Structure 1
Amino acid sequence: MASLERENGSMFLDRVKPLDAILATAEKKSLHRTLGAFQLMLFGIGCIIGTGIFVLTAAGAQKAGPGLMLAFIIAGLVCIVAALCYSEIASMIPVAGSAYTYSYATMGEFLAWTVGWALILEYAIAASAVSVGWSGYFTGTILGDTFGISLPAWLTAGPLALGGAPGGFINLPALVIALLVTWLLMIGTSESAKVNAVLVLIKVTALTAFIALTLTSSEFDAARFNPFLPAGVFGGWGTGVGAVGAAATIFFAYVGFDAVSTAAEETKNPQRNVPIGLVGSLLFCTVFYILVAAGAIGTIGGQPIMGPNGVPFPAGSEELARQCAMPIYADALVCSNEALAHVLRQIGFGAIGNMLGYAAILALPSVILVLLFAQTRIFFVMSRDGLLPEGLSKVHPKWKTPYVVTAITGVVVAIAAAFFPVGQLADIANAGTLYAFFMVAIAVMVLRRTDPARTRTFRVPGLMVIGPLTILGCLFLFLNLPSAAMLVLPVWTAIGLLVYFAYSRGNSHLGKGIVEVVDDIGGQEHDFPIDTPDSHR
């Protein structure tokens, strides 16, 4: 293979993994095309609806007030253009590794490393956020309303300095659920398709009941939507408030559509059905989310608690925690750790509110499991590429799972869940997600130019418009995250670059002239000897 380093004149754009080598594995397991547009749409709805709407409604309302409804539209539009880009490249490269693999095949090892490193952050922190969300429903519904047990504040929230409730020290339930799911993943327990289908049905039924009860309630009052945008559309750079700031946070509620993108290989007439399934599921979920927000705000109100400067207190902050501890705000939507169940209790549907809490308690651990699995898969693929120590990808002889990396990941996830509030965790996870989607859009456009003849079962219509819109949309939401969340990504990337140049670049299999493609944990390896700039060092 020609030396890309010589052609580009830069070490940062060398080592592009041959796409033919990556596809060799996928071609050995071609899948039967059975999914139509409607089936794909239902699949997408099941993947998307879940954690975000259960756990981030309160944080979103604190940032935007009733403008949360506009925030869902903004986040949904960015997701639609990103989803189209994701679909084209997923249909071309239907193998493990997600955006990391896509970047490796188009822009080279260095940029692929930054994407993989960001995905590690995204999945781990997202799992922590879901664990904290689960803890809120567990302590409120199971312990509080079902058994009348009230855990002390120091066991249900992180330290005060990190935004927990006054007197908080550790979120014990979040720590426990993260470690429990990690253990289940280590010993090889995973959810079956039937169990997942039941959980999806539970989630959708619970949210549909919520919408019906709140929008038809005698407590519903349109006056509660005024002012609609108490913090404005733009709350100011780095503040993370306003409708756009809320959109940057509740973007978390849409993550999952990439699973639809990867189903392109199994879709009949993908050029027609993939965009219908993706855009249809995202539009459905956007309308669904808007109705949930309208029901919550219209019945008990959703105005943010303002600071002395007329700007909402940051979600998850020490200042907001102090305000929420005051009796005047005890029943406020923005102060609830289990927002949707709390709303139903406030309007006289306590039993149904508890049932919604049970639905969240049942469904959220499966989300934690999927996120942890995805994170360990990224770790696994990077390890098998030689970019991380190969000991991390060691498979347990009995359990047949990568138990080392799973255990490490689980402990980190549990610690983050124990000490950080859900809003801050979601913002950090979104930073990594937005970077990955940003790079996917670039990869699609690069491949159109460098490999135009490659078979594409789905092509983004109007890529020269959709691609830049995706890039700008992701950048736009990223710049409207709170400044602390924005800073986490470059700091994490800087740490990653130290690891890359200290270890990964010298140990890269591709740098040594071997491409090793592994599509499944414990699966077959496929070696493709090639000539690279560093092959003969």
Structure 2
Amino acid sequence: MIFGRIKPLDAILATAEKKSLHRTLGPIQLMLFGIGCIIGTGIFVLTAAGAQKAGPGLMLAFAIAGLVCIVAALCYAEIAAMIPVAGSAYTYSYATMGEFLAWTVGWALVLEYAIAASAVSVGWSGYFTGTILGEFFGLHLPAWLSAGPVALGGAPGGFINLPALVIALLVTWLLMIGTSESAKVNAVLVAIKVSALTAFIVLTLPQVEMERFNPFLPAGVFGGFGTGVGAVGAAATIFFAYVGFDAVSTAAEETKNPQRNVPIGLVGSLLFCTVFYILVAAGAIGTIGGQPIMGPGGVPFPAGSEELARQCALPQYAEALVCSNEALAHVLRQIGFSGIGNLLGIAAFVALPSVILVLLFAQTRIFFVMARDGLLPEGLSKVHPKWRTPYVVTAITGVAVAIGAAFFPVGQLADIANAGTLYAFAMVAASVMLLRRTDPSRARPFRVPVLWLIGPLAIGGCLFLFLNLPTPAMLMVPIWTGIGILIYGFYGYRKSHLGLGRVEVHEVEIEDIEPPIPATE
């Protein structure tokens, strides 16, 4: 029975120690990894889309999405400290709900990280071609080199997004040469974008005019399931802006003292970014306004739609926040800080690769553990003798992400990535509650307070946001899951180490573990 294949926690921990990754990351590096992934496309690129869905209610949307993430992060913190190995929600589900459901979770995470990494690569390409080449050097790439084909929803005349392809491959190479090296570069990029957002907040908040927040909820709080509008609909989309805190747990196997450092990295990075998001939204809307462009029946035109594009081409909407492709830089230019606005655009261009880096980091670790369990070919789990990184799966993942970025548009990728993420988050909360019943005596360095309340809130919140995604995004999950079930049926079920009885459980002696090389924090 596939639902009966539950891998003992002792076996998971023992396998991780026998074929382990290098423990080099400390709490500061973990927080920076979380912040590096969280602050990026969501706030720099999706602010305009969120405002089109909710207007000034974007602030409430950030709060709603942040609340769901906080309760999910608490569940992540308990289980990641309890099971400090790579694999994130996939590994946790394996130990509680069995191999089949664990496979579906891992497969959903693949969808989340791959689509998100491709989307951010395309977003970076927009800043590179528009701001850097266009504004500062007066150069313009031909359409066939800067966008995907129109048949896939790209720009007319587009064939390949060359900058997106290049940045994805560069980040892949960086990850292959070593985790600690990646963390050091990421720390610099995090400092740049945090400084840029801090400058934005300092310059905009003093110029906020309260009347710009009226009406606060022009599309209402709840636009209806599948519509993607209103504050809740915006929260379902802007949830993408929070994706990344879970990536910290995928680095548990490469973390020094994970029982203490993983909870710090998870909760700390999330709280830091939540405060930033609400302040940035207040500054943007309170200075130049953020009312959506309404369609028939008083319903906002869908973000990214052709109808909205036609409205934005009209003179009266030329300067609207919801029509800007670089919303934050646009706000600063409108309030008289053009030079700083351009610098913020440069900061986004420089910082977005850190988002791609952490997303790729997280996905390769998921693949690594699934291959180590036999559900994917074991050759994917090879660790480089010099770099001590899973170089095979990193290269394969990076090439796939680069191809996706080169030929596919951003479109509604954020919503699709959110669908897979919300499923994985709900499964983590369920795993925590199950482990409290099935293994109550195991040491828990971090315990979720009032789990009887927090756990159901996390599951219910994820389900609620999922149902408020646009219908096409919701449908992607069962389609993608169906593909994954076929792969599992034809390969994973027959090759699984657990199914073949290859379950390794042993007491790990100190001399069995290679001493970690200290990393500079």
Q: TM-score range by the shorter chain?
A: 0.7 to 0.9
2:503 partner SS: strand
Between the aligned partners of 1:371 and 1:42, the Cα distance in structure 2 is 13
Q: Which amino acid aligns with 1:74?
A: I
Tell me if 1:126 matches 2:129: no
Between the aligned partners of 2:303 and 2:13, the Cα distance in structure 1 is 44
Tell me if 1:371 matches 2:364: no
Distance 1:463 1:301, change over 3 A: same
Amino-acid identity (%) = 83
Tell me if 1:97 matches 2:91: no
CA contact (8 A) 2:164 2:406 kept: yes
2:420 partner SS: helix
Between the aligned partners of 1:76 and 1:125, the Cα distance in structure 2 is 21
- Give me the TM-score of the superposition, normalised by structure 1: 0.84
Q: CA deviation at 1:176?
A: 2.9
Distance 1:385 1:500, change over 3 A: same
Tell me if 1:388 matches 2:376: yes
Between the aligned partners of 1:336 and 1:76, the Cα distance in structure 2 is 24
Q: CA deviation at 1:381?
A: 1.6
**Residue matched to 1:7:** none
Q: CA deviation at 1:184?
A: 3.9
1:506-517 counterparts in 2 under 5 A?
506-515=494-503
Between the aligned partners of 2:215 and 2:46, the Cα distance in structure 1 is 21
**Residue matched to 1:316:** 304
Tell me if 1:143 matches 2:143: no
Between the aligned partners of 1:176 and 1:411, the Cα distance in structure 2 is 10
User: For each residue in 1:325-347, what CA deviation from the matched residue of structure 2 results, as whole angstroms up to 9, or x when unmatched?
Assistant: 44443332222222212222222
What is the aligned counterpart of 1:305 among 293, 312, 317? 293
**Residue matched to 2:435:** 447
**Residue matched to 1:529:** none
Distance 1:133 1:340, change over 3 A: same
**386-395 or 52-61, which deviates more:** 386-395
1:515 partner SS: coil
What is the aligned counterpart of 1:50 among 9, 22, 40? 40
- Give the unaligned 5+ runs of structure 2: 506-511, 514-521
Distance 1:191 1:343, change over 3 A: farther
User: For each residue in 1:421-465, what CA deviation from the matched residue of structure 2 results, as whole angstroms up to 9, or x when unmatched?
Assistant: 446111111111111111101111111111111111111111111
What is the aligned counterpart of 1:69 among 42, 47, 59? 59
Distance 1:157 1:27, change over 3 A: closer
CA contact (8 A) 1:181 1:365 kept: yes
Q: Which amino acid aligns with 1:386?
A: G
CA contact (8 A) 1:316 1:421 kept: no
**Residue matched to 2:244:** 256
Q: Which amino acid aligns with 1:196?
A: N
**Residue matched to 2:519:** none
Distance 1:247 1:162, change over 3 A: farther
Distance 1:445 1:360, change over 3 A: same
User: For each residue in 1:41-75, what CA deviation from the matched residue of structure 2 results, as whole angstroms up to 9, or x when unmatched?
Assistant: 78865663333211211121121111110000000
**481-490 or 23-32, which deviates more:** 23-32
**164-173 or 370-379, which deviates more:** 164-173
RMSD value, Cα: 3.3
1:331 partner SS: coil
**Residue matched to 1:181:** 171
User: For each residue in 1:234-259, what CA deviation from the matched residue of structure 2 results, as whole angstroms up to 9, or x when unmatched?
Assistant: 12211111111111111122223235
**Residue matched to 1:409:** 397
- Give the unaligned 5+ runs of structure 1: 1-10, 518-523, 526-537
What is the aligned counterpart of 1:466 among 454, 457, 480? 454
CA contact (8 A) 2:68 2:458 kept: yes
**Residue matched to 2:517:** none
Between the aligned partners of 1:66 and 1:342, the Cα distance in structure 2 is 17
**Residue matched to 1:480:** 468
Between the aligned partners of 1:400 and 1:44, the Cα distance in structure 2 is 22
Between the aligned partners of 1:172 and 1:192, the Cα distance in structure 2 is 23
1:162-241 counterparts in 2 under 5 A?
164=154, 170-186=160-176, 191-217=181-207, 220-241=208-229
**406-415 or 140-149, which deviates more:** 406-415
**118-127 or 166-175, which deviates more:** 166-175
Q: Which amino acid aligns with 1:202?
A: I
Q: How many residues matched?
A: 504
